[in-house]
Amino acid sequence: MTFATGEFIRCFLIHVLPKGLHRIRHYGLLARGACADNVARARELLAVREREDEPTATSVDTAKLPCPCCGGA
């Protein structure tokens, strides 16, 4: 695919965030730190019982999980 210079820069800058802003994929209801609590609260509010085959928050060893930002340990 070939772009004109101005079009390439425009498309590239769509993905650049202003200084001080963070990507939202690591925040919110399903953020790693609060995900289990938020899902449990949502199930409680929706009156949905917990599935037995799902891992609980205590069964996941977070020390072995890679860094969500860089993929390292």
pLDDT at 4: 93
Answer yes or no: is 12 within a domain. Answer: no
Answer yes or no: is 45 within a domain. Answer: yes
Per the structure, the count of domains in the chain is 1
Identity of the residue numbered 30? L
pLDDT at 1: 80
Whether the Cβ atoms of residue 32 and residue 26 lie closer than 8 Å to each other:
yes
Answer yes or no: is 56 within a domain. Answer: no
**C-alpha–C-alpha distance, residues 42 and 48, integer Å:** 8
For residue 46, what are the domain limits?
24-51
Answer yes or no: is 28 within a domain. Answer: yes
pLDDT at 8: 92
Per-residue tokens: 13: 């800058």
pLDDT at 58: 57
pLDDT at 57: 56
Q: What is the pLDDT of residues 4-50, one digit of tens each?
A: 999 999 988 888 888 888 777 666 777 777 788 888 888 889 987 76
pLDDT at 35: 83
Answer yes or no: is 31 within a domain. Answer: yes
